[in-house]
Structure 1
């Protein structure tokens, strides 16, 4: 399996250690290193081999059944999206963007299941992974918005002040990158996606409870936004011949509905 790029900052000195975390450097050292690494990333709209990609429009792709939840059928470039709940939702978004030729970065999510992302179709060579972003992950995300189509920021349970959030939103809009925030509070997100597990298929019941190979996860997903009516979808995330497929059950407009 192809390994994702790991954007870790080496300590100062003539012999950098590529495994060193960002936490050991000053603010200026972190910024300088990230900008050097960003220069090696192909420009948006261009794949790693120099061909034009298919992301010429202003929307990033999502797994098929999720497109009905979003007004434009995908994640709008230059927007901020908040995600909570089942990790399958985040993995599916990363898979869709990178499989379509886009580049993504994941910041502060060291336990993210890269194998599961690969099974969903993610291209790991287009994924930069920053598991240890240091004391200011928001700053790292702001830098990576310069060259990535999608940036995922794990907040570690913290709340980002509105003034700081507005500055990063303005940067995402100017760079036409999409920022996904998770595991924390980010006021002012244009879209909020919440996923809850409704059940599993494949594990045994009765005397065989807990045994067997998991074949699918049933999810309920809710989308809320400033400019559209709340929508919910029920779907299955199924494993089929080593690949993961998203199979819709139903989509509903439910202004007051909660995902259960």
Structure 2
């Protein structure tokens, strides 16, 4: 029904009625089941009026304190895309700060193309699963799904089905700017303002053929564009024994008695 590159940055396409609602239309929340986005019929509602450009600098979207040192200003800038390579746990933790006590009743997020996303891990990092929309298998229509959701949620976690062409990335970035939605991408993204990855990591908790993993210490690194070109690093538990992300101080020693496992 939709071509791969058929997104409409003006927001007046087939998804426009849903893009200006809050979790209505063709997306159901986890209170029912893990679902996919169902396209709405073209012409189901009149096209919304154009949104005037926002001149004021948007407020940063908060992140968990353990990850704040990685980002300029300590948060995610609405309307931009951040690339996270090689670690779904880092991607998940980076978006968890949107669900603070102040925003818990108003924040919405979506995960697109991430069927392996651990919902227990998401809850451990702080996500409100009642306000997390899931489109597990969007297939080649993922650009249309992202464009629709950008008008309904403040944060989208995405894994594209393949390499993203610069022209497509530019069109979706225009949608993000207009709707002030932040995009976290699992993998490369042309024009990403920040690129995050895990440089080193080691797991704790597994003994000689028995036991279970109980925590991971990592060194995360972020590189960006413009004023954010200088690499930033952070050492943290991702996750700790409780499933949360927290800073790792230089003098901190693991409280677990079983041997550490080096990441390979």
Q: Per the alignment, do residues 135 and 245 of structure 1 end up closer, same or farther by CA in structure 2, a change over 3 Å counting?
A: closer
Q: Per the alignment, do residues 70 and 109 of structure 1 end up closer, same or farther by CA in structure 2, a change over 3 Å counting?
A: same
- TM-score with structure 1 setting the length: 0.71
- Does the residue aligned with 2:213 lie in a helix, a strand or coil? coil
- Name the CA distance, whole Å, in 1 between partners of 2:118 and 2:199: 17
Higher RCO, Cα 8 Å, sep 6+: 2
- Name the CA distance, whole Å, in 2 between partners of 1:216 and 1:59: 29
**Residue matched to 1:140:** 145
Contact 2:21 2:151 (8 Å CA) reproduced? no
Provide the aligned length of Structure 1 versus Structure 2.
205
**Residue matched to 1:163:** 167
**Residue matched to 1:84:** 85
- Does the residue aligned with 1:98 lie in a helix, a strand or coil? coil
**Residue matched to 1:231:** 232
More strand by share: 1
- Does the residue aligned with 2:74 lie in a helix, a strand or coil? coil
Greater shift in the superposed pair: 230-239 or 160-169:
230-239
Q: Is residue 115 of structure 1 aligned with residue 120 of structure 2?
A: yes
Q: Is residue 213 of structure 1 aligned with residue 188 of structure 2?
A: no
Q: 1:41 aligns with which of 1, 6, 23?
A: 23
Contact 1:233 1:249 (8 Å CA) reproduced? no
**Residue matched to 2:249:** 249
- Does the residue aligned with 1:111 lie in a helix, a strand or coil? coil
Q: Per the alignment, do residues 199 and 243 of structure 1 end up closer, same or farther by CA in structure 2, a change over 3 Å counting?
A: closer
- TM-score with structure 2 setting the length: 0.70
**Residue matched to 2:261:** none
Contact 1:61 1:97 (8 Å CA) reproduced? yes
More helix by share: 1
